Amino acid sequence: MPVSFMGLIIVCALIAGVLLWAVRAYNRMVELRNRIANAFGQIDVQLKRRHDLIPNLVEVARKYMEHENATLTAVIQARGQAQGAVTAARANPGNAAAIGALAVAEQALMGQVGRLLAVSESYPALKADQNMRELSEEITSTENRIGFARQAYNDAVLDLNNAVQAFPDVLLARLTGFAPAAPLESTASEAERAAPRRAWPSERAQT
């Protein structure tokens, strides 16, 4: 009888230990997922700022580039597609498809903006326009902010992925529906790509 009683105590202690681990691990994964959503919110703010600046840039350029309507229209169309991609990613931050589509849409947008700025080099009066210079500077500043926000997001993604892929937490993650999140690749410019970032495990292994 005493042996059976001791065995029951041991079994109960083991069950309690497993439950305690499961609660702590689950709460940790919830916290990390929430950090991703919060970090994406910062990206969202800066992308909105980018999207708000671009129509102003186009309107200033339109005064001088009457024969470049196709270039201007392409910028506005790319902006609309990028806004749609942001909306989809906002609904599910960390989703690989949504985040990948966002990066592609933003890269396309800034590619069109880059073409606009390249064409503007042929219009001295436009280059000298004070509003054009100020808008260009604001866009560059926004690129830097996006770069830092993107890195904060990717750091949060890395933390979650480490948690849900490590044993034994990976078992609980699969049971509760936690999956690895997707990092956000650079959305545009050299200024953004230059922002400091943490190395991913595969990159550390190569250094």
Query: Would you list the domain boundaries of the chain?
Result: 14-206
Q: What is the pLDDT of residue 132?
A: 92
Looking at residue 194, its pLDDT comes to: 46
pLDDT band at 188 (very low <50, low <70, confident <90, very high): low
Q: What is the CATH number of domain 14-206?
A: 1.20.1440.20
pLDDT exceeds cutoff 70 at 203: no
**Predicted pLDDT of residue 8:** 81
pLDDT tens profile 1-60: 455 778 788 888 888 888 999 999 999 999 999 999 999 999 999 999 999 999 999 999
Q: Which residues contact 176 (CB under 8 A, 6 or more apart)?
A: 26, 29
Determine contact, residues 71/116, Cβ cutoff 8 Å: yes
Give the model confidence (pLDDT) of 105-154 as tens digits: 999 999 999 999 899 889 999 989 999 999 989 998 999 999 999 999 99
Q: Is 122 helix (H, G, I), strand (E, B) or coil?
A: coil
Instruction: Pick the range with the lowest mean pLDDT from 27-31, 91-95, 176-180, 195-199.
Output: 195-199
Can you give the C-alpha Rg of the chain in angstroms? 24
